[in-house]
Amino acid sequence: MLALGKLLELTLAGREPTEKIQLTSGGVRLHWLGEGALDVTPPATEDSGLDLLLSAGVHGNETAPIELLDRLVQAIARGQLKPRARILFLLGNPEAMRRGERFVEQDINRLFNGRHAESSGFEAMRAGELERYAAAFFSKPERARLHYDLHTAIRGSKIEQFALYPYVDGREHSRLELARLRAAGIDAVLLQSKTGITFSSYTYAHLDAEAFTLELGKARPFGSNQEVNLDRLEARLHSLIEGREPEFDDGNLDGLQLFSVSREIIKHSDSFQLHLAPDIENFSELPVGYLLAEDIAGTRWVVEEEGARIIFPNPRVRNGLRAGILIVPADV
């Protein structure tokens, strides 16, 4: 296998490869751009016209998706997987990956869309760097642009695998992409209604890519991910990479549950209290009238929405950030 196929090993060891560019026997060019960043270019005659950005490790302890990208990179470097798409592999937070932590100083996935410029520290710098890698990669005109930012969640979930679809004013969510996610084993999609500060929000809003945050199960240490079943997603990625995606019916979203954001619960002060069990699962239903949270100056968050569910509850976020999202069922 080519040395650049060991992107994960290099990244975890904090090492720079001696050769930055290598060619597989099939003429696929691998280019190490910097820590945790590998650019893959198929031979011009094979190019399918797809630019595919695959990122993982934006949260350093979410190992199942990191291991998935590692398998893809290795298979390409061995010549077993023959790309016909341009691909950019990004491992988001190498230092947090080495420590087995979600982040070191602050959550990178709250630092995109300009937020990093208002902050400091190496995670802010890394967010800026990830934006620049993505912008350079998605700079070629007239190509299909797709970004999957792969995560696992802190907690268990009533719906195991789901996607967050970013939002930008005046742009419609794509039915074809929803059907593609369904075919990749995704059970639910949360359609967002304002532009966020995550990596996929940045590539969606600024780089005109179709972009998704994929939540693929619960975060566990390296080597303990047997219960996270990524088979369908992995098969779909293989076919996208090799330009032989099986037909799917883009009118058929059967079995795909859609949700929209009703409200984001923002933590304003240290007095913030979230009235949920610490181990509550994502997508747990909350009854109308339920007192969800309380904060300074008598602020109360009471559920008013029929069919409301909670995702990403986390009372330990910094003040001013979201401590959970109340979602409701939606139609396309």
Report if residue 110 touches Zn ion, rule: CB under 5 A.
no
Edge-to-edge strands, sheet with 291-295: 273-274, 291-295, 299-302
Both tokens of residue 168?
């930008």
5 vs 217 by CB, closer to Zn ion? 217
Among 151, 180, 182, 218, binds Zn ion (CB under 5 A): 151
Cα dihedral 84, 176, 202, 92 in deg (nearest 10): -50
Interatomic CA distance for residues 267 and 323, integer angstroms: 6
What is residue 171's three-state secondary structure?
Answer: coil
Both tokens of residue 122?
């190496």
Both tokens of residue 312?
């990403």
Interatomic CA distance for residues 126 and 123, integer angstroms: 5
Report if residue 218 touches Zn ion, rule: CB under 5 A.
no
Report if residue 59 touches Zn ion, rule: CB under 5 A.
yes
What minimum distance in Å lies between the beta carbon of 151 and Zn ion? 3
151 is in an annotated binding site: yes
Per-residue binder mask for Zn ion (CB under 5 A), 268-307, x = binder: ----------------------------------------
57 vs 83 by CB, closer to Zn ion? 57
- Residue 255's region, left for phi above 0, alpha for psi from -120 to 50, else beta, is left
What minimum distance in Å lies between the beta carbon of 254 and Zn ion? 28
- The residue written with tokens 């007239």 in the block is 142
CB 149 within 8 A of CB 198: yes
Q: In this chain, which stretch among 124-132, 149-157, 238-246, 250-258 interacts with Zn ion, using CB under 5 A? A: 149-157
What minimum distance in Å lies between the beta carbon of 113 and Zn ion? 17
- Has 215 been annotated as catalytic? yes
What minimum distance in Å lies between the beta carbon of 119 and Zn ion? 18
275 is in an annotated binding site: no
Both tokens of residue 31?
């280019």
What minimum distance in Å lies between the beta carbon of 198 and Zn ion? 9
Element (H, E) at 285: strand 284-285
Q: How far is CA 293 from CA 67, 245, 316, in A?
A: 36, 45, 13
Q: In this chain, which stretch among 14-22, 147-155, 250-258, 324-332 interacts with Zn ion, using CB under 5 A? A: 147-155
Catalytically annotated residue among 172, 215, 227, 234: 215
Residue nearest to Zn ion (CB): 151
Element (H, E) at 309: strand 309-311
Using CB under 5 A, count the residues that bind Zn ion.
Answer: 3
Interatomic CA distance for residues 78 and 282, integer angstroms: 38
Residues with catalytic annotation?
Answer: 215
Interface with Zn ion by CB under 5 A: which residues? 59, 62, 151
Numbered residues of the known binding site for Zn(2+): 59, 62, 151
Numbered residues of the known binding site: 59, 62, 151
